[in-house]
A and B are shown apart, each in its own frame.
Chain A
Amino acid sequence: DAKTTQPPSMDCAEGRAANLPCNHSTISGNEYVYWYRQIHSQGPQYIIHGLKNNETNEMASLIITEDRKSSTLILPHATLRDTAVYYCIVRVATGAGGTSYGKLTFGQGTILTVHP
């Protein structure tokens, strides 16, 4: 699986949008971009994933550049509870049934601190 590069830490004011960047310049055509977060002393929580189109769910938006070499996770209105380590992971994932999944390999992630 392709490697990812994330800034080690970021700060964000409560109520503002948090934009977390991720570089994955060696991503392959069959690799998805996944985002997870880990709040202190808890298991990781799935946030969102995408292949090439922008994605949005109730938690966040994922913006993937046209060349797929980088992406940005957007938390539109950050709260104190969003303080966590955010992991950007590139992973092979093919279709349903007889599927072959790549491993989720965690890097160091970005420590996002949301302050009042």
Chain B
Amino acid sequence: GAVVSQHPSWVICKSGTSVKIECRSLDFQATTMFWYRQFPKQSLMLMATSNEGSKATYEQGVEKDKFLINHASLTLSTLTVTSAHPEDSSFYICSAYGTSGTKSSYEQYFGPGTRLTVT
């Protein structure tokens, strides 16, 4: 199956700083990518959907000015958590589907996740 990578796998930052998380599709082109957040012992919650070359669509309750998403190419999307606070500490997971050759993929592939801890 298709491979999605994330960088970094874990990050610790101080309150008030910003942190950027990268999501890459390694062997396929991802026209659409998704960002999820998962708090301990909870399920994944969709934060936003990003389409290459256009603005991201955020889920209700997710602050677009705090969670900046850039999907500048068919293989890279970034999530920047601005002015991070301890309550932003979470497991952030990206996901992607798109074209692989001439066939669209029905399956949505997930990255390994990024553990963010804000102190």
Interface residues of A, Cβ cutoff 8 Å to B: 32, 36, 38, 41-46, 49, 87, 93, 96-97, 99, 101, 103-109
Contacts and interface: CB of A to CB of B under 8 A. Distances in A.
B46 A105 contact: yes
B1 A46 contact: yes
A42 B113 CA distance: 6
25 contacts: A38-B44, A41-B91, A41-B113, A43-B4, A43-B93, A43-B95, A43-B112, A44-B44, A44-B95, A44-B110, A45-B110, A46-B107, A46-B110, A93-B106, A96-B103, A97-B104, A101-B106, A103-B49, A104-B34, A104-B108, A105-B46, A106-B43, A106-B45, A108-B43, A109-B43
Nearest to B107: A46
B67 interface: no
Interface of B: 1, 4, 6, 32, 34, 36, 43-46, 49, 91, 93, 95, 97, 103-104, 106-113, 115
B24 to A, nearest CB: 13
Given A44-B93, A49-B106, A103 B113 contact: no
